[in-house]
Amino acid sequence: MHYKAPIQEMQFLLDNVFQASELWQSLPALAEMVDMDTAVAILDEGAKITNELVAPLNRDGDEEGVRLVDGKVITPKGYQAAYQTFAESGWVGLSGEPEYGGMGMPKMLGVLFDEMCYGASNAFALYSSLTAGAALCIASHGADELKERYLPMLYSGQWAGAMDMTEPQAGSDLRHIRTKAVPQEDGSYRVTGTKIFITGGDHDLTENVIHLVLAKLPDAPGGSRGLSLFLVPKIQVNDDGSLGEANGVECGSVEHKMGIKASATCVINFNDAKGYLVGKVNRGLAAMFTMMNYERLSIGIQGLGCAEAGYQMARDYALERKQGQGSGQGLGNGSDPIIVHGDVRRMLLQIASMTEAGRALAVLTGESLDKLKHEESSEAADLVGLLVPLAKAFFTDTGLESTVAAQQVFGGHGYIRETGVEQLVRDVRIAQIYEGTNGIQALDLLGRKVLPKEGAMLKTLMQKVKQELEVVSPEWQQQVAQVNQAFDRLLEVAGEFRSRDCLGDAINAAAVDYLHATGYAVYGYLWLKMVAAAERDQQQLEPAFVQRKQALARFFFSRLFPRFDAHLASVRAPESCVMDLPHDQF
């Protein structure tokens, strides 16, 4: 698969749009760790390793998939050697705690490397993503002994991490988890139960897999309040850090899936396995959600990476593929490249304008996570709460739309395996489902983040938007007014929900449309922010780069931003049109 990391776009976001170096220098924990020169060097090296090492594995990995042989999970040919090189280069610990061997890089830089990884190979990227997430959870909630023993090995990539939540009878509703943890005299626990759909639950890339497992103590209260979190290694770890005996953690099977076939999705059986408490008893869900926030952003970025890869493939094909009788724009052989056709251009512009705005939202979310971690500001907390579910769902919903559009550019050649674009459609489809389905993300956004406290979180974002759009040039004032009005309407319609008789039904029926409306409003804000930066700094940017940014912004506001009105109209429709049909008439 051809993939080239969009370095110029990424550097533009960090340097010109978000002026990241100013933030980094204002935070003592980052000031001595990173500046713009360091960030650019990391992006360059990240592009090299994803373009040259990871991307070449993508197609063959999809063809071969993973296999379970004699109880061992075997990854595709080339994965072991590539992962070793990837880990030895320090990429697993890119944003990890320096105290335990991580590089300590800010998340607003990490999200860009995440996109490179997903653009190069979704399946390969997931192994390191889950490991980084597990390390984050341990660093945030684990006892010092756990941090010292496990974090260095996770950051180095010698061990991998996995998140074990779902069970056959407990998918998104974790109240029904049956996995048990029995306390032992030495302070450890014995964990027994079965988990399903565990990404990276077992594989041959590392010598150990560290599972973070949600389970219940014998005397736990009912519901999700009775869940605790346990660290359960596949192989027991001795006091000196060496590996000991097997720990009763077994892979029962691997799933055969529509996509991400080189990612091991496992049924994991815990048979009286030795585990260690992470965080507080009966507070496991709160600890796990530290990991989930970062993983949901990461999975959202899976949608961005696939959209960018699809765009590159479709653009190159449209420039090379010649069809028709010629229109004077051809190459001398009586035919034109299909890039001259309006509908092909529409699809490419749609993918590009959505992907580039999404990348800006990823950096904004990363910036907010960095501020929350290092400043603990209430504004950052509001933005993280609001933007994480938005990013996860909107990136992946529109990411699928973008990869389908890229496939359409290829015509019939997009439906056959040889071109590779159909794999993107299959791979990105799961991103709407795992780490909390997009419907659940929408319920979280509207029901838990926007409606409480008279829309306080949304007001925090609105204040930021209106302040930053004050510097946009007069040429774009019509669009500034459109964006500000959109946010005002989002707040207004949120207030209308409180007067509805069946609030729960109303939220359920309207949440996805509300999330999408919010997505287009935020993308409008970010396009104006990008255009303002490009025009302000046009002396140091290439004229074609500035021109392209302006053209994509005009396309977005003319052709895509009107979707906001349609989604908001659906939000305002009565919930009865969704809820009134009797069950037996479906």
Mean pLDDT for the chain? 95
| Catalytic residue of the set 435, 475, 496, 542 | 435
Buried b (16+ CB within 10 A) or exposed e, 231-240: bbbbbbbeee
CB-count exposure of residue 386 (10 Å: 0-12, 13-18, 19+): buried
Res. 330: pLDDT tops 60: no
What is the band of 503 on the pLDDT scale with cuts at 50, 70, 90?
A: confident
Residue 318 corresponds to which tokens in the numbers above? 């449209």
Percentage of residues in the chain having pLDDT higher than 70:
98
Res. 241: pLDDT tops 70: yes
Q: How far is CA 564 from CA 89, 281, 482, in A?
A: 43, 44, 10
What is the band of 334 on the pLDDT scale with cuts at 50, 70, 90?
A: low
Distance from the Cα of residue 258 to its chain's centroid: 19
Within a 10 A sphere around the Cβ of 171, how many other Cβ atoms?
13
Question: Nearest to residue 429, comparing CAs of 458, 448, 403?
Answer: 403
- Average pLDDT score over residue span 281-294: 87
Q: Is-contact 129 270, C-beta < 8 A?
A: no
For the question of residue 496 being annotated catalytic, the response is no
Q: How far is CA 271 from CA 180, 189, 385, in A?
A: 10, 12, 37
Res. 64: pLDDT tops 80: yes
Query: Of the given ranges (117-126, 365-374, 497-506), which has the lowest mean pLDDT?
Result: 497-506
pLDDT of residue 222: 84
- Average pLDDT score over residue span 242-257: 97
CB-count exposure of residue 526 (10 Å: 0-12, 13-18, 19+): buried
Q: How far is CA 449 from CA 285, 332, 435, in A?
A: 18, 58, 18
Q: Is-contact 500 576, C-beta < 8 A?
A: no
Query: What is the C-alpha separation between 270 and 192, in angstroms, rounded?
Result: 5
pLDDT digits (tens, 9 = 90+) for 152-207: 999 999 999 999 999 998 878 888 899 999 999 999 999 999 999 999 999 999 99
Q: How far is CA 367 from CA 308, 339, 469, in A?
A: 21, 36, 18
Q: Is-contact 206 88, C-beta < 8 A?
A: no
Query: What is the C-alpha separation between 508 and 261, in angstroms, rounded?
Result: 33
Ordered alpha helix ranges (H), 537-562: 543-555
pLDDT of residue 290: 81
Backbone angles phi, psi at 336, to 5 degrees: -110, 150
Question: Nearest to residue 10, comparing CAs of 106, 110, 91?
Answer: 110
pLDDT digits (tens, 9 = 90+) for 88-145: 999 999 999 999 999 999 999 999 999 999 999 999 999 999 999 999 999 999 999 9
Q: Is-contact 357 556, C-beta < 8 A?
A: yes
Q: Is-contact 269 250, C-beta < 8 A?
A: yes
Between CA 384 and CA 392, with CA 388 as vertex, the angle to 5 degrees is 170
Question: Nearest to residue 278, comparing CAs of 223, 215, 219, 220?
Answer: 215
Q: How far apart are the first and last CA of the chain?
A: 43
Residue 67: strand pairing partners: 74
Query: What is the C-alpha separation between 533 and 177, in angstroms, rounded?
Result: 49
pLDDT of residue 172: 80
Contacts of 179 (CB under 8 A, 6+ apart): 167, 191, 192, 193, 194, 195, 213, 214, 215, 216, 270
For the chain, give every domain's residue range.
453-586
- Average pLDDT score over residue span 527-542: 97
Q: Is-contact 406 414, C-beta < 8 A?
A: yes
Q: Which DSSP letter does residue 167 get?
A: B
What is the band of 325 on the pLDDT scale with cuts at 50, 70, 90?
A: low
pLDDT of residue 471: 94
Q: Is-contact 532 473, C-beta < 8 A?
A: yes
Res. 311: pLDDT tops 70: yes
Q: Which DSSP letter does residue 76 get?
A: P
Half-sphere exposure of 288 (CA within 13 A, CB side): 26
Res. 492: pLDDT tops 60: yes
Question: Nearest to residue 133, comparing CAs of 161, 108, 153, 98?
Answer: 161
